Amino acid sequence: MNIILCGFMGCGKSSIGWRLAKLTGYKFVDIDKVIEEDAGMTVREIFAQKGENAFRSAETQAVKELSKRDNLVIATGGGTVMNPENVDTFHEGGGKILFLDVPVAALQERLKRDVRRPLLQRPDRREFIYKFHRERHPKYKDAADFVIRAGAPAIVVARNIAALVTELEKKEQS
């Protein structure tokens, strides 16, 4: 089984993910990092030099590769599960998708000084986050097997998810 963390930029997919991996003994993988290592460029550079479509293809490829493996905690990018093909691939590989749901006001606060994420480098960032979040929120819920309230500190959320993972492992074995 793989544990897939999805949700909006800034929801804590990576910071919760590595803590969760430590608690469960799974291996942590961040899809953005896999793409960056394969391309030898940052996500921002890929968007700027090759365009978003090229990034999305690389993302789908990474989803396919990672879904062949087992016992991973996978931090997706904020757009990964917007593509239904990626959601199907995760499920076919035995993955459980968890949506980390964080209130939009908290996301706006966490992301206000970000310089790394290409989609946020715009003057109307606060309004953009609000609108984009409203658009994506139902899609995260649709993709997810579980919705996790994730506004609390990362370690608290990671502990809650670790308890859920233990339950899921029991079910898988029975």
Q: Applying CB under 6 A, which residues contact ligand S3P?
A: 9, 13, 32, 43, 77-79, 117-119
Least separation in angstroms between CB 145 and ligand S3P: 19
The encoded tokens of residue 19 equal 């803590």
Least separation in angstroms between CB 120 and ligand S3P: 8
The encoded tokens of residue 119 equal 């989609």
Least separation in angstroms between CB 149 and ligand S3P: 18
Q: Which residue, 7 or 93, has its beta carbon nearer to ligand S3P?
A: 7
Give helix 52-67 / helix 84-92 axis angle, nearest 10°: 10
Grouping H, G, I as helix, E, B as strand and the rest as coil, residue 174 is coil
Q: Which residue, 101 or 168, has its beta carbon nearer to ligand S3P?
A: 101
Q: Which residue, 114 or 169, has its beta carbon nearer to ligand S3P?
A: 114
Residue 60 contacts residue 17 (beta carbons within 8 Å): no
Q: Which residue, 8 or 26, has its beta carbon nearer to ligand S3P?
A: 8
Least separation in angstroms between CB 106 and ligand S3P: 14
Q: What is the total residue count of the chain? A: 174
Alpha carbons 140 and 71: distance in angstroms, whole number: 22
* Other Cβ atoms closer than 10 A to 148: 19
